Amino acid sequence: MKTYRLYQVDSFTRERFHGNPAGVVPNADGLTDEQMQHIAREMNNSETAFILQANEAEADVEVRFFTPTTEVPLCGHATIAAHYVRAIEGSVVSGRGMQKTKAGILPVDIMQEGEDFSIVMTQGKPEVSEPFPEPLVKRIAEALGIAQDSLRKDCPVAIASAGHSKIMVGINSESLLHSLKPDMDKLTEISAEVDCNGYYVFTLHPDAEVLVHGRMFAPAIGIQEDPVTGNANGPLGAYLVHFGICRQLEKDNELKFTIRQGEAIKRDGGMQVQVKIKDHQPVQVKITGQAVVAFRTEIEL
């Protein structure tokens, strides 16, 4: 029997019971894949992060991410949670570290802010697909409960990824965004066809302090709705740059913006997104988030 430390961390907020909850096991060496999956299912967060010793010289730690039903290559809010726990436990100091993930070896920066910390996650390679054909767009809109004329004409429906892909769906109305009641079965069916598990529905507000308000649905991996999603908003930044949607906001070969998500389900939180640009295309994506511990316990296995 070994005692494992288990945290519940609310990411992308400093206010407990807001933001996006993630499980974190900071001493996960010795757990089997099956045990990690069981712990993730028991925690029943959208993701739980397991921190292990890295077996590669280039990485400081290995982090694995499990939903209640499956392992995923990368998770934004669980990355923020995992490295926040490392910081408050004192196993790392402020500065850059490297985490090995199923999406590659990626930098994570821990920034001390007074007696607390913010975490900067560099995500994977930015990639954006071709726009979906009109018949598929129509099916996605119907599954989300969105009329065709409510889609933003300047935002093609397409897949964007920075290590973990999402389908981007821009709409015109924030009130519509917060009233959506998608058909989860239809979304799951489409996910299997296009090999992408999540749908990020968003509005844009270029003249406001918060550029993006969004909601993310991923029923194909057991997540009806994710409160605040790093692996949606980072890819969204790459998507906005790729299609030139917010070019007026780009400065010094960068696009920086703030998002707000989770309002419709009363788990609101936010993050900052930073996209480096070369030749009008995204070349690097970073997200910055805060966190707070909701509770800590132990489990013996």
Dump pLDDT digits (tens) for 185-221: 999 999 999 999 999 999 999 999 999 999 999 999 8
Which among 47, 56, 174, 193 is annotated as catalytic? 47
**Do residue 237 and residue 160 come from a single domain?**
yes
Share of the chain above pLDDT 90, in %: 96
The answer to whether 290 and 10 are in contact (CB under 8 A) is no
**Do residue 283 and residue 295 come from a single domain?**
no
**Do residue 84 and residue 137 come from a single domain?**
no
Label residue 251 by pLDDT band (50, 70, 90): very high
**Do residue 134 and residue 259 come from a single domain?**
yes
What is the model's pTM? 0.91
In the annotation, is 47 catalytic? Answer: yes
Domain that holds residue 152: 127-288
Give the total number of structural domains in the chain.
Answer: 2
pLDDT tens for 64-122 read 999 998 999 999 999 999 999 999 999 898 999 999 999 899 999 999 999 999 999 99
What local confidence, expressed as pLDDT, does residue 228 receive? Answer: 96
Task: Read off the pLDDT of each residue in 262-288 and give the average, rounded to a whole number.
Answer: 97
Q: Determine phi and psi for 231, rounding to 5 degrees.
A: -80, 10
Task: Read off the pLDDT of each residue in 45-54 and give the average, rounded to a whole number.
Answer: 96
Distance CA 235, CA 244 (A): 14
Distance CA 74, CA 102 (A): 7
**Do residue 296 and residue 282 come from a single domain?**
no
**Do residue 66 and residue 131 come from a single domain?**
no
